[in-house]
Amino acid sequence: KSNTNPISPQIADAVLRLAQLYEIEGDYSLASSAYKQALTIQERLLSPDSPELKKLEDAYSASLSRVAR
């Protein structure tokens, strides 16, 4: 059995950092996918009015607009 909970702040942070790396590399499709995954995790962990969640929602939205270009 693994002690790692897939719905943890550490996993969300790691996925967020991966999204940021993909964005820096210009792979906006992978970045968008990773932002969505991080957002899904954070939505389970944070309250809906959390500033951290709002920031992540904004990052995800921006990544989607980059993919659409």
Would you say residue 60 has pLDDT above 50? yes
Tokens 């899904």 label which residue? 40
Integer Cα distance of 58 and 43 in angstroms: 13
pLDDT score for 5: 62
Digit-coded pLDDT (tens) for 10-59: 999 999 999 999 999 999 999 999 999 999 999 999 999 999 999 999 99
What are the helix (H) ranges across 26-50?
28-45
Integer Cα distance of 10 and 60 in angstroms: 19
pLDDT score for 4: 58
